[in-house]
Amino acid sequence: MSQNYRGFFQDWEIAVAKKLIIEFQEEWTCLVREGFDDLLQDCLTHWYFTKDDYESRRDASQKTFMGRVIRNKLADLVRQKKADKRKLAHLSISLDEPLGDNDDSPNLIDKIDDGTITVTDASSNHFLEIQLKIDLSKALQKLTPQQRDLCRLIMEKGLIVTEVSDHLKTHRDTIYEELKRIRTIFMKEGLDKDYLK
C-alpha cells in the first residue's frame, strides 16, 4: 500500500475498509479496474466525513456503522460504473469525425473501409470508445431478436433480472440461461464477460 493512513484512522478502520473492498472486487470486476489503493482512499475519505454521524445510543457498534457506510459507498461506485457502461452503449460517433487531433487526420469511415484502423490512430480514450461501440454493435448483430430485447431492457432501461422476468413474462431461470448465452457471444467478440452484470 503506497498511502499511509495511520494518524488519520485507527487500524481497525483501515482493516474494515480493506476487507469490504476485497469482497466487492471479488463480486464486481468493474471495481478491479479501479485499483485497490484508489478504492481504499475513496472509502476512507468518505468514512472520514461521515463517521461523526455515528450515534453511540443506537444498537449498532461503530464498526458495524462503518461497514454500512463503506458498503453503501462501494455499491454507489458499482451503480455509477454500470450507468457509465450503459451510457457508452448509446454513444454515437460520427463516421466523419477525424481520428487524430487535427482536422486533416483520416476519419473513421475511411479507416473502417480500408481495414487499417489501429489503436495508434487516435487518442486512447476516444479510440477505445469507438472500438467498444463497434465491438458491441457486432456482438448485438449476432444475437437473436429476443436476446437483443433482453439486452435493451438491461442496458438501456437498467432493469434487473426479476423486472425483466416480469416484463417478458418469462421465468427468471430462463432469463439467467439466456444471459449466459449472451455473455458467451460477448466474450467471443472481445467484450467483458460481466458486461451485462
All residues at 6 or more sequence positions from 105 whose CB lies less than 8 Å from its CB, including other chains:
98, 99
Spacing of C-alpha 42 from chain mean position: 17
Question: Distance between CA 162 and CA 170 in Å, rounded?
Answer: 10
Kindly indicate the confidence band of residue 128, based on its pLDDT and cuts at 50, 70 and 90: low
Rounded mean pLDDT, 46-61:
82
Helix (H, G, I), strand (E, B) or coil at 116: coil
- Decide yes or no: CATH 3.90.226 for domain 142-197: no
Q: Is residue 126 scored above 70 in pLDDT?
A: no
Rounded mean pLDDT, 107-134:
58
CATH 1.10.10 residue spans of the chain: 142-197
Averaged pLDDT of the chain: 77
The larger pLDDT score, comparing residue 31 to residue 44, is at 44
Q: Say if residues 111 and 97 touch (Cβ distance below 8 Å).
A: no
Rounded mean pLDDT, 88-103:
59
Question: What is the chain's length?
Answer: 197
Q: Would you state the pLDDT for residue 3?
A: 62
Q: Would you state the pLDDT for residue 22?
A: 93
Q: Would you state the pLDDT for residue 78?
A: 86
Kindly indicate the confidence band of residue 67, based on its pLDDT and cuts at 50, 70 and 90: very high
Residues 54, 57, 63: CA angle, nearest 5 degrees:
45
Maximum alpha-carbon separation in the chain: 70
Helix, strand, coil content of the chain in percent (nearest 5): 65, 0, 30
36: buried, middle or exposed (CB in 10 Å: 19+, 13-18, 0-12)?
Answer: middle
Question: Distance between CA 85 and CA 141 in Å, rounded?
Answer: 19
13-22, 43-52, 184-193 — which is least confidently predicted?
184-193
Cell reading at 119: 489503436
Rounded mean pLDDT, 1-11:
70
Q: Would you state the pLDDT for residue 196?
A: 59
Spacing of C-alpha 58 from chain mean position: 35
Q: Say if residues 31 and 39 touch (Cβ distance below 8 Å).
A: yes
Cell reading at 183: 455473455
Tell me the range of 6-10, 14-18, 141-145 where mean pLDDT is highest: 14-18
- For the four alpha carbons of 187, 192, 97 and 126, in that order, the dihedral sign comes to negative
